[in-house]
Amino acid sequence: MRRLCCLMALLVISLSQSVSITFAQENWPQFRGADSMGISTNSDLPDHWSTTENVAWKVDLKGRGWSSPISWGNKIFLTTCVNLGEGEEPKKGLYFGGDRAKPPTSEHQWKVICLDKNTGSILWEQLAHQGVPTTPIHLKNSYASETPVTDGQRVYAYFAGISHMERAWNRSSLAMVPI
């Protein structure tokens, strides 16, 4: 009896791991994918692209964000921070001297955006915080550098510059739930 229970437990664990691996590979729920390895099982990816070649769609979004996009199902999630005032624009190329000693004085909006994976249209946009940044950043950086994560039910976004505020959004209700 004990041996049968052990075999059943092993079978359940094996099946659940294979299902979760298959399920996770269909989505890109965190930085560098499901296993944080940056590897996709899709063998039909392009070897090269340009601004027009191998591009399904493009969309202009307000603000700046260096976070990686994540996806679940046919939704793409990303973060941005919009400067509502005048801001210094980054210059092209690599350079030193971009560190700023003081934070900007204008209000900013920290947002999570959900796009349709097939069309690029904005499905929803959620304001996480609005206020004046309390910390300076390098001119080429963004206040939306951290990549969000999802468990398929909620999107979790962390913005380091706003008092360690974390929020989760339920896909169906978009209700903000502190975590």
In a domain, 41, yes or no: no
Cα–Cα distance between 114 and 120 in angstroms, integer? 9
Domain containing residue 130: CATH number: 2.40.10.480
In a domain, 6, yes or no: yes
In a domain, 77, yes or no: yes
User: 68 pLDDT exceeds 70?
Assistant: yes
pLDDT tens string 104-160? 999 999 999 999 999 999 999 999 999 999 999 888 889 999 999 999 988 998 887
Residue 169 burial (10 A CB sphere; 0-12, 13-18, 19+)? buried
150 and 68 in a common domain: yes
117 and 68 in a common domain: yes
Whole-structure pTM over 0.85, yes or no?
no
In a domain, 2, yes or no: yes
In a domain, 40, yes or no: no
165 and 123 in a common domain: yes
Domain span at residue 9? Answer: 1-29
Per the structure, the count of domains in the chain is 2
In a domain, 53, yes or no: no
In a domain, 114, yes or no: yes
- Whether 113 contacts 141, CB under 8 Å: no
